[in-house]
């Protein structure tokens, strides 16, 4: 049985499902710049926004923090800004090596980004696009709803309970658990108690994939 492991623990699994931003791709400079500029334009508290935005789709974040605005128009502006910002996008430490070790039919990406942005960021970070990529365009409900992770497992032909999810945000960890999957917290974005999880790593360098 394949195993995802660190020196401290081992998880048997049939597939590994990754969040993208903060888990595989470090896009923090672009995300921070885009949202701070948007908050400044509307007189909103950026720190309050960041407490709820990680792992959520843009329209959900806008509706949550500024329901008085025209959500569709604001999201269109954010789409243009995020797609134009690729400076400083790099892989999370250990991501290239871990993906290279995984067979193509044993991993997927489930992201709150839309499909075009996901492709742009994966390429900017020098990472391969997965055979199964579930984006905001593919689901009716975003994280913490489990729909995206359940769709990825189904597309890979793997039962949910045989999947391990790697996530850097509370909404994503909640989505994985709601899908009946084991969740590993990646402490690249938040290192505090908000990522309480049975299994956790600082980044992906601590992880290895083995075929037992």
What is the distance between the alpha carbons of residues 95 and 92, in angstroms, rounded to a whole number? 6
Is 26 tagged catalytic? Answer: no
Q: Give the integer Cα–Cα distance in Å for 155 and 159.
A: 10
Closest to 128 (Cα-Cα) out of 145, 147, 109: 109
Name the active-site residue from 19, 32, 138, 192: 19
Do strands 208-211 and 163-167 pair parallel, antiparallel, or not at all (unpaired)? unpaired
CA–CA dist 111, 49 (Å, integer):
19
Catalytic residue selected from 21, 26, 45, 70: 21
Concerning whether 155 is annotated as a catalytic residue, the answer is no
Q: Which residues of 99-129 are buried (b: 16+ CB within 10 A; e: fewer)?
A: beebeeebbbbbbbbbeebbebbbebbebee
Instruction: Give the burial string for 48-62 (b: 16+ CB within 10 Å, else e).
Output: ebbeebbbbbbebbb
Residue with the two structure tokens 């909404």: 171
Is 73 buried (19+), middle (13-18) or exposed (0-12) by CB count in 10 A? exposed
Which class for 130: exposed (0-12), middle (13-18), buried (19 or more C-beta within 10 A)?
Answer: buried
Catalytic residues: 19, 21
């Amino acid at each position: 049985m394949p195993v995802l492991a660190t020196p401290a623990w081992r998880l048997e699994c049939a597939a590994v499902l990754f969040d993208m931003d903060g888990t595989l791709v470090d896009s923090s400079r672009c995300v921070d710049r885009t949202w701070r500029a948007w908050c400044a334009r509307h007189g909103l508290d950026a720190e309050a926004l960041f407490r709820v935005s990680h792992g959520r789709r843009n329209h959900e974040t806008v509706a949550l923090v500024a329901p008085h605005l025209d959500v569709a128009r604001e999201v269109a502006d954010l789409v243009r800004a995020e797609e134009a910002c690729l400076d400083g996008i790099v892989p999370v430490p250990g991501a290239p090596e871990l993906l290279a070790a995984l067979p193509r039919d044993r991993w997927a990406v489930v992201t709150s980004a839309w499909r075009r942005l996901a492709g742009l960021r994966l390429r900017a970070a020098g990472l391969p696009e997965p055979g199964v990529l579930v984006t905001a365009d593919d689901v009716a409900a975003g994280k913490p709803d489990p729909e995206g992770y359940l769709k990825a497992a189904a597309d890979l032909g793997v039962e949910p309970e045989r999947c391990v999810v790697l996530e850097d945000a509370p909404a994503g960890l909640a989505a994985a658990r709601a899908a009946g999957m084991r969740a590993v917290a990646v402490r690249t974005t938040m290192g505090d108690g908000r990522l309480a999880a049975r299994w956790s790593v600082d980044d992906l360098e601590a992880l290895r994939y083995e075929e037992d």
